[in-house]
Amino acid sequence: MRKPDFQNILKVLKRQVPDRPTLFEFFLNEPLYQKLAAPAGPFTDKWTFGLCCPMVINAYKYAGYDYTTVLGSEFTFQLQEIESKETVSLNAGNAIRDRKSFEAYNWPDPEKFDYSRLEQARNWLPDGMKLIVFGPRGVLENVLVLVGYETLCMMMIDDPELTQAIFDGVGKRLLKYYEICAAYDTVGALISNDDWGFKTQTMLSPADMRKYVFPWHKKIVEAIHKTGKPAILHSCGNLDKVIGDLIDDIKYDGKHSYEDTILPVEDAYEKWGSRIAILGGIDLDFVCQSTPQQLTKRCKAILERTKSRGGYALGTGNSVPEYVPDENFFAMINCVRGE
């Protein structure tokens, strides 16, 4: 086990060369957290996704990360009941369908939620480790789960004023959430997690993304930067047509989530690595279906490619769900741990 040092991920986000190869992951899964944290256990807290707790902190520590990702609080946008299935349609959102349901919607106040675990984490974090806070979905994702994809597309044509009001209702509350979280000195960086696209394009046209979505992302990033902390975008999909917006206008420090079918992370690093930090990126399908030896070969190759130029941290293209074979996850992180 190596000693955590948050300065390494900070150097990556500044597109510098870290003192040692560095890991980045959005989140893992409960069985893996339990397995990794076992040397420090047993733990009495019941695990909840995103909850800041000793088990998750110790899991990240023993795996070799310099941080732990957490939610800042239980702040979220209340949704209509959606049938629980393995996959859920983008059209499932139905809490807001028109102006009447918009006015009737019970908008949450982010200031009324409990953020105390961000302070309490001071008692659990080992020296050198900090928290990276992510959100309860992002601007576009929350609008989609409130409205539904097809309804939103029609609403942008039929009632652009209502569309703007919904984005503003979501955006200003997420902005306040990030302002609150960024103020804690246990927090070293923040992630705005908002899936923007499909495999071929963004979910909305680039013009509509710039009209409705990006202004709120820019305000969120500005609020994070005011505290002297970096802002990371986690977004799936093909963002080629808007990459300039997220780098040059919104000014994200790092970009996470890559798929080989869209743009392999090696190519993303060559295209964008001089302008924004590239985080993770080893395609999740590749992580699942490769042998540990194949995975090790690819991970070592990208570490070799980036070691003198910096601005890269190793990890998956998205996250580590339960179906990722443990031996493959360990093969990946051991490339950085030197084992």
- Indicate whether 284 belongs to any domain: yes
| Cis amide prior to 230 (ω within 30 degrees) | no
pLDDT score, position 318 = 97
What is the average pLDDT score of the chain? 95
Separation of alpha carbons 80 and 335, rounded Å = 44
Q: State which amino acid sits at residue 58.
A: N
Specify the number of domains making up the chain. 1
Q: Side-chain half-sphere of 205: how many Cα atoms within 13 Å?
A: 6
Separation of alpha carbons 126 and 23, rounded Å = 17
Q: What average pLDDT score do residues 62-79 get?
A: 95
- Indicate whether 252 belongs to any domain: yes
Separation of alpha carbons 235 and 32, rounded Å = 24
- Indicate whether 1 belongs to any domain: no
- Indicate whether 25 belongs to any domain: yes
Looking at residue 249, what DSSP letter applies?
Answer: I
Confidence of residue 81 (pLDDT cuts 50, 70, 90): low
> Any idea what the CATH number is for the domain that residue 65 is in?
3.20.20.210
φ and ψ of 232, to 5 deg = -115, 135
pLDDT score, position 194 = 98
Q: What average pLDDT score do residues 278-306 get?
A: 98
pLDDT surpasses 70 at 43:
yes
Confidence of residue 285 (pLDDT cuts 50, 70, 90): very high
pLDDT score, position 44 = 80
168 CB neighbour count, 10 Å cutoff: 14
φ and ψ of 197, to 5 deg = -150, 175
- Indicate whether 288 belongs to any domain: yes
Q: What average pLDDT score do residues 92-100 get?
A: 87
pLDDT digits (tens, 9 = 90+) for 6-22: 999 999 999 999 999 99
Q: Write down the pTM of the prediction.
A: 0.95
Alpha-helical runs (H) found in 47-121: 54-63, 99-104, 116-120
pLDDT surpasses 80 at 91:
no
What lies within 8 Å, CB to CB, of 1 at 6+ separation is 61, 62, 64
Separation of alpha carbons 258 and 237, rounded Å = 8
Q: What average pLDDT score do residues 77-101 get?
A: 76
- Indicate whether 240 belongs to any domain: yes
pLDDT surpasses 70 at 339:
no
- Indicate whether 50 belongs to any domain: yes
| In the chain, % of residues over pLDDT 90 | 91
pLDDT surpasses 60 at 85:
no
Separation of alpha carbons 7 and 199, rounded Å = 34
Q: State which amino acid sits at residue 91.
A: N
- Indicate whether 307 belongs to any domain: yes
Number of residues written out for the chain = 339
pLDDT digits (tens, 9 = 90+) for 300-309: 999 999 999 9
pLDDT surpasses 70 at 239:
yes
Closest CA to 70 of 134, 5, 138, 116: 134
Domain that holds residue 33: 6-337
